[in-house]
């Protein structure tokens, strides 16, 4: 199977990073690109908390998590930098977030944002996994399970230097010959 | 790092399989060995449902899930084949489950079950991941996150024939230019 | 509407109480009777944790929680006092639990337990709410929401001395002019 | 205990209702007043879904649920009618929502909204329960459990015409002599 190169991000600004970022500059890293809207319920309840967990688990293993705010509706409510900054502050999202650049016919009923269009995303959340060579390895629309996304990340981890996956076990939940914890 | 071969299972019986199984017979498969007790709350609420999800996601990708009932307490309540069979029936656990063989000094306060001892497990749940060559690649005591276990499985998947990880996305949760679903 | 008196419990033993109990002896208390089986998944995941929460919230307000182990299947696995005691120990269930007396034709395919039959319960979980006069005020089969069960308890609380319902709020989750907590 | 009359709402507008509402006009109804901000994580994850459940369970029993958008921070992001309307649309909130009137020194660092101040609310979420006589019966800051809030509603329900609390049970989760459902 021929793998497609991930199109470069076309954005109008960044939050949570001192310098603008680019996929070209991240070559050698595994990149998780999480496209969302601050008023998308599935993004808020599922995909953004998942992206936070991935940043916590895998940053030390060479995975960079980037949020992409791809606003294609409710531009007045969620289209400003101030609204996004307030949202990121309240939801404690600390990874870098790019503002997807408005499309040609921008406006309340305008065109799709440019990066969203370049990736042919259907909506939000969309979760894109990019390998160390800058190629798209997974494109998921809607909620993805932690098991499936973890496995996809593991496949990419294994392509690099020999690595061990993160531990993430919690002995507090276990029974031992001395007894079990409260459920 | 030198990897340790996974000790063969020493068991007193099997459920959910017509023929007894062995790790030797599973060479070439990735094996998830899930040690549990039917009265271990963390096993019932976390690890057994997780093992079921892994069986659903990864069986088609060459992963075999085996339960190991390693009873080291409450032998009267959970030590019989009948009790285990009733439990597996009610919790809809369909993957093969082995009954860990009692230790030398078996009884209400007897020795640890033999497979549990051979793996130096501390208690239940314990989740063991074995690669296609029969080597232990992960040994987790207590609850493991889906992300971490998924990544560990992905690392092993990548060592085989080129594979794609399972999809597992749910577009029902997504916003599109036509609208968002109810949260 | 004429309210039915709650039939007295017919049981073969008690756990978590020094003395046997009776509904007659609990007149003046609101009684939550939670019928369950230790191998009933909905009881373990939903109704027993709910009964624990009710004991925590409402014991100080005159509500007594009683578990009723009404075994109508898997008698070998869950029919013994030892099995029930192990279960209550591991799941940290501290409220009194009665063992429903076996029916006439007891055995693996025997009759329904006596108290279960007297209340015409359909299965487990069944949640029965009894008022201070010993009358059945609610009979629910299957999972009940906390809101609905809380409201039913509140109705009975209001019939006694003027009471205030328990507080149960958690300011840790709140935003103030000083900021919001992490989600 | 002397009960305090609930101060009238002072608002700058309404959504989800054709006509403005008032507490005076709701005398005879039990009123649940849910103060929130659209960028308050505890409101989005806990209190607004709870208010929806209350509307579903109790509207037929004489309970009116009203949302109160009391913005005291991030005025640019969440202070406009358009932002609130987009939020209510995406989160499928269908009960009437009032916009709390800005305080004297309104602005990005202005005074507290007027209704918030009149009730001496500490922040969001705040859940206020008002009885049929228009008196405050419960004032909770932060997340409230369904059990506690259900009980408080039940107490008020019992003060009216004899009522039965809503059912809310789900037999799908139950074991019967014919078997148990999948967990």
DSSP B47: I
DSSP lists the bridge partners of residue D64 as D31
Q: Which chains have at least 3 CB atom pairs separated by less than 8 Å from chain B?
A: A, C, D
What is the distance between the alpha carbons of residues B86 and C78, in angstroms, rounded to a whole number?
9
Task: Tell me which chain C residue has its CA closest to the CA of residue D164.
Answer: C152
Across the interface, whether the CB atoms of D158 and C158 are under 8 A apart is answered yes
Give me the percent of chain B exceeding a pLDDT of 90.
79
Peptide bond into B125 cis (omega under 30): yes
C-alpha distances out from residue A101 to A71, A87, A117, D11, Å: 9, 19, 10, 37
Length of chain B as a residue count: 183
CA A136 to chain centre: 13
Is the pLDDT higher at A107 or at B103?
B103
Across the interface, whether the CB atoms of C91 and A183 are under 8 A apart is answered yes
Confidence grade of residue C108 (pLDDT, cut at 50, 70, 90): very low
DSSP B98: E
- What is the nearest CA distance from C11 to chain B, expressed in angstroms? 20
State whether residue D82 is helix, strand or coil.
helix
Mean pLDDT (chain B, rounded): 90
Tell me if chain D has a CB within 8 Å of the CB of A87.
yes
Q: Which of residues 4-33 of A touch B (CB under 8 A)?
A: none
- What is the nearest CA distance from D89 to chain B, expressed in angstroms? 9
Confidence grade of residue B14 (pLDDT, cut at 50, 70, 90): very high
The 10s digit of each residue's pLDDT in D114-124 is 999 999 999 99
What is the mean pLDDT of the segment spanning C145-174?
79
- Residue B78's nearest CA partner among B38, B135, B133 is B38
**Dihedral angle of Cα C8, C13, C18, C20, to the nearest 10 degrees:** 20
Tell me which chain C residues have a C-beta less than 8 angstroms from the C-beta of B80. Answer: 76-77
What is the distance between the alpha carbons of residues B38 and B23, in angstroms, rounded to a whole number?
23
Q: How much is the pLDDT for B177?
A: 78
pLDDT over 70 (residue D1): no
What is the mean pLDDT of the segment spanning D33-50?
97
Q: Looking up tokens 């017919």, which residue turns up?
A: C10
Nearest to A86 among D74, D80, D86 (CB): D74
Give me the percent of chain D exceeding a pLDDT of 70.
91
The 10s digit of each residue's pLDDT in D44-78 is 999 999 999 999 999 999 999 999 999 999 999 99
Tell me which chain B residues have a C-beta less than 8 angstroms from the C-beta of A74. Answer: none
The 10s digit of each residue's pLDDT in B109-154 is 458 999 999 999 999 999 999 999 999 999 999 999 999 999 999 9
What is the distance between the alpha carbons of residues B4 and B128, in angstroms, rounded to a whole number?
12
Tell me if chain D has a CB within 8 Å of the CB of B91.
yes
Suggest the residue from B34, B35, B77, B175 to mutate for an interface test with chain A (most A CBs closer than 10 A). Answer: B175
Round to the nearest angstrom and report the end-to-end CA distance of chain D. Answer: 47
Cβ–Cβ contacts within 10 Å for residue D116, how many? Answer: 24
* Exposure class string for C163-177: b at 16+ Cβ within 10 A, else e: eebbebbebebbbbe
Tell me which chain C residues have a C-beta less than 8 angstroms from the C-beta of A183. Answer: 49, 90-92
**D62 and D164 in contact (C-beta within 8 Å)?**
no
* Torsions phi, psi for A57 (to 5 deg): -75, -40
Suggest the residue from B47, B90, B177 to mutate for an interface test with chain D (most D CBs closer than 10 A). Answer: B90
Tell me which chain C residues have a C-beta less than 8 angstroms from the C-beta of D156. Answer: 154, 158
Strands A143-144 and D169-170: unpaired
- What is the nearest CA distance from C76 to chain B, expressed in angstroms? 7
What is the distance between the alpha carbons of residues C8 and C31, in angstroms, rounded to a whole number?
12
Would you give per-residue pLDDT tens digits along chain A (183 residues)? 578 999 999 999 999 999 999 999 999 999 999 999 999 999 999 999 999 999 999 999 999 999 999 999 999 999 999 999 999 999 999 999 999 999 876 554 458 999 999 999 999 999 999 999 999 999 999 999 999 999 999 999 998 755 445 555 677 777 887 777 777
HSE (CB half, 13 Å, CA atoms) of B86?
22
Q: Name the most confidently modeled range: C118-122, C156-160, D162-166.
A: C118-122
For residue A118, what are its two tokens?
A: 């370049």
pLDDT over 60 (residue C107): no
| ipTM reported for the complex, 2 dp | 0.87
Is the pLDDT higher at D166 or at C45?
C45
What is the distance between the alpha carbons of residues B73 and B38, in angstroms, rounded to a whole number?
11
Q: Which of residues 139-178 of D touch B (CB under 8 A)?
A: 175
For residue D49, what are its two tokens?
A: 């879904």
What is the mean pLDDT of the segment spanning B35-54?
97
C-alpha distances out from residue C53 to A59, A173, C35, C139, D147, Å: 39, 20, 16, 19, 8
Give me the percent of chain C exceeding a pLDDT of 90.
79
User: Which are the contacts of D121, defined by CB distance < 8 A and separation ≥ 6?
Assistant: D35, D70, D112, D141
Nearest to D183 among B92, B175, B182 (CB): B92
**Dihedral angle of Cα D70, D76, D77, D78, to the nearest 10 degrees:** 20
Tell me if chain D has a CB within 8 Å of the CB of A104.
no
Q: How much is the pLDDT for B143?
A: 94
Q: How much is the pLDDT for D22?
A: 98
Tell me which chain A residues have a C-beta less than 8 angstroms from the C-beta of B157. Answer: 151, 154-155
C-alpha distances out from residue A27 to A62, A100, A122, B140, Å: 11, 20, 26, 33
Tell me if chain B has a CB within 8 Å of the CB of C109.
no
Across the interface, whether the CB atoms of C180 and D151 are under 8 A apart is answered no
Taking phi first (over 0 means left), then psi (-120 to 50 degrees means alpha), and beta for anything else, what does residue C11 get? beta
What's the per-residue H, E or C state across chain C? CCCCECCCCCEEEEECCCCCCCCHHHCCCEEEEEEECCCCHHHHHHHHHHHHHHHHHHHHHCEEEEEEECCCCCHHHHCCHHHHHHHHHHCCCCCCEEEECCCCCCCCCCCCCHHHHHCCCCCECEEEEECCCCEEEEEEECEECHHHHHHHHHHHHHCCCCCCCCCCEEHHHCEECCECCCC
């Amino acid at each position: 199977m021929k793998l497609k190169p991930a199109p470069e991000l076309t954005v109008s600004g960044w939050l949570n990073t001192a310098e603008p970022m680019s996929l070209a500059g991240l070559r050698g890293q595994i990149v998780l690109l999480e496209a969302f809207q601050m008023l998308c319920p599935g993004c808020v309840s599922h995909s953004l908390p998942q992206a936070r967990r991935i940043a916590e688990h895998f940053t030390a293993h060479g995975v960079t998590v980037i949020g992409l705010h791809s606003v294609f509706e409710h531009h007045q409510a969620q289209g400003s930098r101030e609204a996004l900054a307030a949202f990121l502050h309240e939801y404690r999202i600390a990874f870098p977030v790019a503002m997807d650049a408005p499309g040609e016919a921008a406006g309340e009923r305008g065109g799709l944002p440019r990066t969203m269009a370049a990736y042919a995303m259907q909506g939000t959340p969309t979760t894109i996994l990019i390998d160390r060579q800058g190629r798209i390895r997974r494109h998921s629309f809607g909620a993805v399970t932690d098991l499936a996304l973890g496995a996809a990340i593991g496949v990419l981890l294994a392509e690099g230097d020999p690595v061990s996956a993160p531990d993430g076990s919690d002995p507090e939940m276990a029974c031992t010959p001395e007894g079990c914890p409260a459920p």
